[in-house]
Chain A
C-alpha cells in the first residue's frame, strides 16, 4: 500500500485535493451556506485596495486628460501657463463635479419621488471569472445592504445583491449568464423569465408562441420571483421570433450599461403598479374654448333617439307592444303578441345646428 502511494504520490495528492474541494462544494450546496469566513476575509482584504486603486485611477485619469494634454500647448506661453493651468483644472474639476452632481441629482430625484427607500452606492471592482458578470459595490452589511436586495438605476434594474460583507457587497448584474428574473410586458401583459447572456442583450424565455408580444414593448419586473418588486423597468423588446415551443425574444436592458458607476440599492420597497402604455402624441391640436352668452342657445343638440343603441331601440319597441297588447314579459297572465307591431309613433329629429357659424370668405 505504501509502495503504491509512493509510486503514485502526485496522483494521490491530486485526488485528495480535488476530493477535499468537492466535499467543500457539496457541503456548501447541500446546506445552502457559504464559507463566509473565507469570503469576508478575502473581500475585506481587497476592498480597501479597491477603493485606493479606484481613487488613484479617477484622479490620474482626470489629471492626464486635463493637465498633461494641456501642458504641450501651455509651453508656448510660460507667463500664462500657471494661470491657465489653474483655471483649466479648476474649471475641469468643477465640470466633473457638475457632471457628478447631475448624476447624483438624477438619482436623488428618483429616490425622492419614489415612496421606497434606496441607498446610493458606487461600483468599485469586478469579481473574477471570464464568464461571470458580478461586481462589488462600496456598501455592505454595515450600511444595511443585504443579500437578495435589488440594485437599480432610475432607468431600470441593474442586478441583485448575491452576497453582503461588512464593507462591500457583491452584485450579480442582469447580464450574468446565471441571472434570471420574472417579468411582465407593459402592453400585452405577457409574462416570462428574462435571462442574462453574458453580453449586453438578454433573452426573454418561456413566452408561448401563442402569446402576444411586440417589438418595442417595454418589459417590467412582475414581482413573482420575490426578489425584484413588481413594476421596475427591465428593458425593451428588441426582437420577437416564434420558436419550437416558446418565442425567441431579445430584450435590451434599460438600466444596465457598460461602464456603470453609480447605482441604487433598494433597501425597503414593495410592488407598484405597471405604468400604463402611452401612445406618443405627434401632432397636438389646440381647441378654442366654447362660446359663451347668447351663442350658448345655438349649441348642437343631439336627438335622444340618436344616442340609443340597437338594443335600446328593440327594448323600447317591446315595451310599446306590451303597452298596446297588455301583459308583460316575465310575468304570469296573457303573453303579448310581439309579432304584431303597434303604429309607430312619428319621431321628429330636430335639425342640427352648427356650433360655429360658417366662415364667410
Chain B
C-alpha cells in the first residue's frame, strides 16, 4: 500500500455520512429560520444559519465536489427567496462550500477550536464576497461596518459550536 492509498483510506475513514433527508431538511430549516424568526426578534437577523449549515456539511463530508454542489444549492434557494438576482448568494455559498471542504482535508473538523475558527472565518469570508459581488456585479453599495461584522462573526461561531454538536448526532453510525 503506497502513501496515496493510505492517505485516501485515512481520509475516507474520517468522512462523516448523513442520510439524504438530513442534507435536504437541515438547510431548508436553516433558511426557514432566517425567513421567520427575525420578524419577531430582530436580534436573530445577525445569525446566518444557512452559512453555518453549508460550512458544517462541507467540513464533515470532506469532499470539495459535494461542498460546491451543496453550497450552490443552498445559495440559489436563498437567492430565489430574496430580492436580488439569482446567483449572488449562490456564488458566495459555492465558494464557502468549496473552501470549507478543502480546509477539512487539512484540519480536523471535529475539533471545537477548529469549528470556532471556521465559523468565524467563513462568516467574514461570506460577508466579504457578498459585498464584493453586490458591488462589482450589481453596482450597489452596501455600507461596510467592520465592528458590526466582527461582532456578528463572533456570534455566529458561538452559535455554530452547539449547532455543529447537534448535527453530529445526526451522523450515520
Interface of A toward B, CB cutoff 8 Å = 9-10, 13-14, 17-18, 21-22, 24-26, 28-29, 34-35, 38-39, 41-43, 46, 49-50, 53-54, 57, 123, 125-132, 134-135, 162-163, 170, 172, 176-178, 197-198, 258-259
Contacts and interface: CB of A to CB of B under 8 A. Distances in A.
Interface in B79-110: 80-91, 94-95, 98, 102
Contact of B35 (A14, A34, A127): A127
Given A9-B65, A21-B76, A259-B40, 7 more contacts: A29-B137, A53-B32, A126-B38, A127-B35, A170-B83, A177-B141, A198-B143
A258 B83 contact: no
A57 B36 CA distance: 10
Contacts of A125: 35-36, 39
Contact of B89 (A26, A129, A178): A129
B85 A127 contact: no
Contact of A29 (B39, B85, B152): B85
A138 B59 CA distance: 38
A198 B148 CA distance: 12
A28 B86 contact: yes
B35 A13 contact: no
10 contacts: A13-B68, A21-B86, A25-B91, A29-B138, A41-B80, A57-B36, A129-B89, A132-B82, A134-B83, A135-B39
Contacts of B35: 46, 50, 125-128
A28 B85 contact: yes
A50 B36 contact: yes
Interface residues of B, number: 46
Interface of B (DSSP majority class): helix
Contacts of B91: 18, 21-22, 25
B90 A126 contact: no
A10 B98 CA distance: 8
A53 B82 CA distance: 19
Contact of A14 (B40, B94, B137): B94
A25 B85 contact: yes
A345 B91 CA distance: 94
Contact of B85 (A34, A123, A130): A34
Nearest to A198: B143
B86 A25 contact: yes
B160 to A, nearest CB: 15
B77 interface: yes
B65 A132 contact: no
Contact of B86 (A24, A50, A57): A24
Interface string B120-157: 00000001001000000110111100000000100000
Contacts of B64: 10, 13-14
